[in-house]
Structure 1
Amino acid sequence: MNILITSALSARAHQVKARLTANNILLGDYNDVPAFMLTQGKMIKLPSPQSSSFAHQMLTLCLDNAIEVLYLLDVAEAEALNESEQLFLEYNIEINTDEI
């Protein structure tokens, strides 16, 4: 199972990651991420939730990375995707906001 956890630069993201048993866990953040963290392949740059196309960009990113579960740890991200949850479900991508 492929999982994406947002707010990668936060301690909370690493706590959530430590609790999960999946093999393929990506961390992502829309804030400035140091380049060396991106090159290791376990962290990715996310689009800004302030973007008018945020939902589309996140869906594309999830599909490109075969993400099945998306843990949103940022309130702005959760609010931006709130109305798009059904669209993600149609692509078998579960949005989890329980960790906020």
Structure 2
Amino acid sequence: MNILITAATSASAHKLKNKLQAWEILLGDYADLPDFMVKNMGLLRLPNPASASYQHEMLTLCLDKGIEAIYALTGEELNLLQQSELLFNEYNIALFDGQAYL
């Protein structure tokens, strides 16, 4: 199972990653990430929540990367994703409030 944790540049993301050790975990962020973090650390560049097509861009990313669960750590990301929860559920992608697991 591939899991995506958002807000990769935060300490909370790494704390949650350590709690969920049992799965394949990907970290991603929409903030500007230096190339070395993307190439060497394997972080994903995520769509910006300010984008009008944010939910569809996230769905495409999840399908491309085989992501089955998203732990959103920012309220903005979580709110937008939850607005399209039915769409994500159709593709068997679960949405979680990452803050609830810290």
Report the TM-score, using the length of structure 1 for normalisation.
0.94
Alpha-carbon distance in 1 for matches of 2:59, 2:22: 21
Alpha-carbon distance in 2 for matches of 1:80, 1:7: 15
Q: Match of 1:68?
A: 68
Q: Match of 1:10?
A: 10
2:86 maps to amino acid: Q
Unpaired runs of at least 5, structure 2: none
Secondary structure, counterpart of 2:67 in structure 1? coil
User: What is the percent sequence identity of the aligned residues?
Assistant: 51
Q: Match of 1:77?
A: 77
Alpha-carbon distance in 2 for matches of 1:75, 1:66: 24
Higher fraction of helix = 2
Q: Match of 1:32?
A: 32
1:72 maps to amino acid: A
Alpha-carbon distance in 2 for matches of 1:75, 1:23: 24
Runs of 4+ in 1 over 4 A off after TM superposition: none
Q: Superposition RMSD on alpha carbons, in Å?
A: 1.3
Unpaired runs of at least 5, structure 1: none
